[in-house]
Structure 1
Amino acid sequence: MYDVTALGELLIDFASRSTDAAGYPTMAANPGGAPCNLLAALSTYGCSTAFLGKVGDDAFGKLLLGTLQRVGIETAGVVADPSVFTTLAFVAFNAAGERSFFFARKPGADSLLRVSELRLELIDDCRDFHFGTFSLTCGPARSATRKAVEHAKSRGKWISFDPNLRLSLWHSPAEARRWILWGTKQADIVKISDEETSFLWGDVSPKEAAQKLHTAGVSVVFVTLGPKGCYYSGNGFDGSVAPPENIRPVDTTGAGDIFGGSALSRLLKTGKALDALTNDDLEGAARFACCAASLSTQTLGGISSVPPEGAVRRFMEQC
């Protein structure tokens, strides 16, 4: 039995660290992909996890599979395809550590996951099924994602969703908005950023955004607010959690995913049904996730930046 099975992208993040005299960047390679960053956090914080996806049968694909196995993520649902390259992402940073993404994905292996390649038993054996929009940007992965969501819902699983908006991967903003809204309507738990709420609904408050998601059928909402912390809402409870002070980000790659995995780990650890979660449960999950995500920004990469639970607990005591 797995606590969480996720579907989506597993890729290499190439992060720009310096430039040579001619202006060409020196890149550092890190394992990543939003759902795998989330699963790495869940695994670190005591949850059992599995992944459904596709990589190339190449050097990068083999490295990524080895990384997932080392952090405790089940890889039986990962296809290694010799006909296509593992997806690559190139990440540039500004002075605040915020990122811009450029993708080598025309196509990349992750976008070619097919319905026939899904190991649906990994969904049958989980408590929560997680997905994002990366796998909804094009087919055949879009069809595979829809099938997996349909299967999970038919089995009564929790469904968690992260919009993880990357506009450059979509044909148009309208298409991105349509599929993000489709994802929210499938989900019980949504982690969404303030940038994404602005994209969907314009100038709305976190509370107004959460209410729109509740109206769509979402039970629990976490709205991340970057350096301002997060807002949570569910079961008639809501509140805000301030971020830890004196954090200067080195690399924010994966921080939102690590927030999502950290919060989800706390909800699962309660052993409660979603409609039985209390304000203490939701606030505790948000506070733990804020601290874990903040600590993750002190280390390069996504999967590799998940802080140990002990470090998060000590950090929480200081805040």
Structure 2
Amino acid sequence: MDVVTIGETMVLFTPEGSPLMRYAHTYSRKFGGAETNVAIGITRLGHKAGWISKVGNDEFGKAMVSFVRGEGVEVSQVKTDLQAPTGLYFKEVRSGDNVRVEYYRKGSAASKLEPSDLNEEYIAQAKYLHITGITPALSDSCYETVMKAIAIAKDNGVKIIFDPNLRRKLWSEDKARKVLLEITALADIILPGVEEGNFMFGESDPTKLGQLFLEHGAELVILKVGAKGAYYFTESSSQLVAGFPVKTVIDPVGAGDGFAAGVISGLLDGLSTERAVERGNAVGAMATQVHGDFEGLPDREEIDRFINSSDSEDINR
């Protein structure tokens, strides 16, 4: 296994006919969750990814596991909770820069994850463990599960990749900051945005943020700065890797997960840090041009064509 990720995926409903739920009579049903978005993105780029989670003993849960499996993600560690339901959320795409999301996830099956649900051998055989800041926010038992997964990875030489993925509605600011900083100190690679860095450290200058994350324990920091692209920072070097222009953003949700999948796949392929970040920028840009959380994630042929086409057009990136 190349990458193991752990967290909640929910059933996604999007209004049809009108972007506003108050006027919608019909909805499309899809699935979405940061961890499966990343896992699907990685498998589409030719690598092996596994997902650890829980779903309800309901039709939504069964459909979700079947779908994620169909995308090539290994799902043997997805368990079924006989009492709790599969979580739901609704997404209103009012415009490319105005997306509103409503979650119905309290008490969901995934929020019942416990340390005993983890299989140490499953995590130990991976190259990377991918964690987001969403999972520890779901419940105390989810936090404990994430911390145990990190400990297993540490004990077995598995690199830890952490995307803070701040969700303010899930917990208090004090608790969120404390836990995000705690996990940051344990991670090898950090994938924050500037807003998340400002939340954690009270700093918004990218260069200063990069140094703060390095001082906190990371060996590689990749700091997203929106359309401009992303910086990377190591102890010996740093650079801004320019983003890819997008004429029209259709749906920005999931772009950060696409970015993570692109970066991770680049690292797995042995690309330089600069080229891995470039691939992340490209996947993120492509993801914004299609409705859905993961539908726009490319395969290897598509991403190579996108990058090469952009290079040949000599875009000022």
**Among residues 285, 288, 291, which one is paired with 1:294 in the alignment?**
285
Q: What do the CA deviations read for 1:249-293 (whole angstroms, capped 9, x no partner)?
A: 1111111011001101111111xxxxxxxxx71110111111111
Corresponding residue of 2:128? 128
Identity level (%): 29
Pairing 1:91-102 to 2, within 5 Å after superposition: 91-102=91-102
Q: Which moved more, 1:20-29 or 1:52-61?
A: 20-29
Q: Which string of whole-angstrom CA distances, capped at 9 and with x for unpartnered residues, describes residues 211-234 of structure 1?
A: 111111101111112222111122
SS in structure 2 at match of 1:168: helix
The 5 Å alignment of 1:33-112 reads 33-112=33-112
- The 8 Å contact of residues 5 and 129 in structure 2, kept in 1 or not, is answered as yes
Alignment of 1:311 with 2:302, yes or no, is: yes
Greater RCO structure (CA 8 Å; 6+ sep): 1
Give the deviation of 1:120 after TM superposition: 2.1
CA contact (8 A) 1:98 1:251 kept: no
21-30 or 204-213: bigger deviation? 21-30
Unmatched tracts of structure 1, length 5 or more:
271-279
When structure 1 is superposed on structure 2, of 38-47 and 195-204 the one drifting more is 195-204
Residue-by-residue CA offset, 1:54-110 (whole Å, 9 max, x unaligned): 111211111111121111111110011121111112223343344333211221111
TM-score (norm 1): 0.91
The equivalences for 1:136-155 within 5 A come to: 136-137=136-137, 138-155=139-156
Which segments of structure 1 move beyond 4 Å, counting only runs of 4 or more? none
* 252-261 vs 303-312, greater mean Cα deviation: 303-312
Root-mean-square deviation over aligned CA pairs: 1.9
Aligned-partner Cα distance in 2 for 1:5–1:189: 15
Match of 2:11 in 1: 12
The aligned length equals 308
SS in 2 for 1:263: helix
Query: Any gaps of 5 or more consecutive residues in structure 2?
Result: 311-317
Letter paired with 1:234 = T
In 2: Cα distance, 1:163 partner to 1:133 partner? 4
SS at match of 1:303: coil
| SS state at 2:2 partner | strand
**Normalising by structure 2, what TM-score?**
0.91
CA distance in 1, matches of 2:21, 2:8: 33
Summarize the Cα distance change of 1:174–1:92 in structure 2 as closer, same or farther, 3 Å threshold: farther
